[in-house]
Structure 1
Amino acid sequence: MSIAYIVLRLSLWSCLTLLVYGCSADPGARPSDQGRAPNNPHEVVVSSELLARLRLGEPEQLPVKVRIPVPARIEVDGSRTVLVGSPVLARVTRLPVVEGERVQRGQVVGILHSTELSAAQQAFLKALATKQLALRALERAQILLDAGVISNAEFHRREVELAEAQAELGGARDQLLNLGMSSAHVERLERTRRIESALEIVAPIDGTLLRRHVTIGQVVEPGDVLFEISDLSSLWLVADVPEQYAGMLFVGQEVEAQVPSLDGRQVRGELSFVAPTVDPATRTIRVRMNLPNPQGSFKPAMMATMVLERAPATQRVLPSSAVVREGNKEFVFVQRSPNTFVLRPVELGDEVENHRVLLGGVQPGEQVVLDGAFHLNNERRQQQFRSEGA
C-alpha cells in the first residue's frame, strides 16, 4: 500500500467525521445573541425580551432657561460698615470690647488718654470764663449807661467784647467735639469745670466688632483706624462675572445663590449692583446681591455660587432615567444595531423637570435608551463578568 493511498484514506476519513458531526449537531445549540460576550466592555447585546422592555428615542427639544454658575463670596455690606478712628494723638488705656462681640450704638469700645484733649478743655474753660466776664461787664455797662455815667460808644465796646468772647467759646466747643467729646461731655465739662484727659471711643452703629486694630498702651494718631464695626443683619453676595455675559446683566435681575458650607442652602434675590466697567486684569464684571441675614447663618468670607439665568432657549434634553453614572462620569446607551447598544460618555448640563440638558455626546438621529438604562447596564456588567470568567 503506497503512502499516497494512506494519506488519501485519512483525508476522506476526516471529512466524513466533520460531515457526520455537522449533521448531528442541534441547530438550536448555536450561541444566541444573549450569550455572546462582546469584545468591547462598553457594548451589550440584548435578547428580544430585554429589548422589549427598553424605550428608545432621540433627545427632545425643549425650552430651557440657561443657568450660568459663577463663583461668589459673602462680604460685609459696605453701607452698614464703619471704621472707627482716633480723633487725637493719644495712648490707648482700655479696650472693654473684644472682636466678635455685638455692640450697641453709643457703647464705649475703647478709652484713650490725650494731653491734646486736656489742652483743648483748658482752652474751652478759659473761653467760658472770658465770655462770662464779658457778659457781666456788659450788664454793668447797661446800668451805667442808664445812669448817664458812660457813653453809648463805651457800651457798644462792651457789646463787641461779649460777641468776641462768645465766638471764641463756640470755637473752643467745636474743637472739643472734633476731638471726639460728645455734646453731653462738653456740657458736663461746662457744668463741673473739671478737666478729663480720658476720651471715650463709642460705637457709632449697632453691629458686631469685626476687628480691633490696636492694643493697650499703643500710641495712636489722628486718622488711625481703631475698630471695624459692621451690621451683619444684611450682607453682600459678590461675584465677578466673565465679560462674555455682560449683555445679560442688569440691576434687578433675579439670581440664585448656593452656599456649600450650609448644606448647599439656596436663596434667591436680585442684583443690586452691576459694575459700570470691566476689570482689565480679570476681564470680569463685578456684581452683587443683597443677602438678608437676620439669623446670622451667613458669615463674611464664606464661599458661594451665584447662578445667573438667561432667557429660555431651545435645547436638547434627555430624561434623567436615561443617564448612567460610572465613577465620576455620566453615560447613556446608544443603539448601534437592533439588539446592540454601546455605553457612551456624554456632557450634561442642569437638571430641568426630571430632564438633563444634553450638551454633547449624542449625534442627531441616534437612538438613545430613554427608559430602562439601569437594567441594561446590569446586563452589560453580567456579560462582561461572564466574558472575563470564560
Structure 2
Amino acid sequence: MRFTAATLRSLLILLLGALPVIAGAAQPVPVFVKAASVEPFVESIEALGTLRANEAVTLSATVTETITAIHFDDGQRVEAGDVLVEMTSAEEHAQLEEARSTLNEAERQYRRIQRLVKTNLASESLLDERRAAFETARAQLEGIRSRLQDRLLIAPFDGVVGLRHVSVGALVTPGDTITTLDDDSVMKLDVSVPAVFLNTLRPGLRVSATTADLSDHAFEGTVASLDSRVDPVTRSITARALLPNEGHRLKPGMLMTVTLKKPPVDYLMIPEESLVREGFNEYAFVVDTDSEPPTVAKRRISTGPRRPGSIAVTAGIAPGELVVTHGVMRLREGTEVNIAAVQQDDESLEELLQQSRSTGNGEH
C-alpha cells in the first residue's frame, strides 16, 4: 500500500498527539513489601533413630539346676539386688529363709533397744549386744547369698522385667533365657546422620523426637555422644541422644523421627516470594522510598539457610530495607511503584489485598 505525502503528515500529527496520552498511561506498579529484619534462626537436621534402654540385659541361668522359686511377674518393676529366681534345693532355700528371718528379727530388736536408750530405759551395753547381733545376722545372710550366688538370679540394676520364659520346676542350663531387664528411666536414641553434618554434631546439641505410636507428644533431649567411626557403606555416623522417659511411655526398639537443632544464629531474613532467580544468580527488588514516586532497585544478593516462608540473606540487603514480596514479575530496574500494603508478619495474600483496599492504595 502506498501513502501520499498528505496521508503521512496526517498520521504523524495523530501519533504526536497521542504521545502525551501514552506517557500518562505508565502508572506506578502496585506492590506489597516487607522490611528485611534480623531474626534468630535455628538450623535443624532431620533423621530417623531407634530407641534403646539406658541399661538392658538378658537374664539367663549360669548353672544346670531346677527352678524352685520365682519372685517376679511379667512387666514388674524391680530394684537392684532383688532376688528374681531361685534354683536352690529345699535345704538351701530353708537356710536362706532362716537367715532372712534372723536378720529381720535382729534388726527389729536393735531398733527397739535404740529407741529405749534414748529414753534411758535400756543400757548402752544392751544396745551394743543388739547391734552386734544385727550385724552378725546380716553377715550370715550375705554369706549364704554368696554361696548360693550361682543359684540365685539377682537384678543387677533398677528397671522393668520383660516376659517370663520359665516356670517353677523347669530345668534350666547355662545360657537359657529366663527374662529381660531394662532400665527405662532414660532412653538412648541412636540416630544415623549423614557424615556431611559431622561439623554440626556435638554433645549437648538439642534434640526433638516424635513417633507415630505417640503422635500427641514431642520428646526433648540432648546429644550425649558420637560414634568414633563413619560407616563406610552408608557414609553416616551414629549420634546417641538421651531422652528422659517420665511416665515410661517410650519403649526400646521404637522408631522415632528426630530433629537435631543447632544453637540459634541471627540472620537477616526476607520472604521467599521476594527471591528472583536468573540462571545461577539471585536477586531481590528493593524499594527506594526517598524518590517520589518510589522506585525499585534490582539487587543481586547472596542467600544462606532457609525455612518455610523465609530465606536468610548474607549480602546485598541492609536491615530495615523494604523488599517487594508480591508484584515482582512486573518490575524492572527503576520501575516506579505504589506501596499497596506493608507485610508485618506472615499475612496471607488475601489479607494483604484486604489491607490495600481498606487503605485505598490498591489497584482499581
Structure number with the higher helix fraction is 1
The TM-score, its normalising length taken from structure 2, stands at 0.49
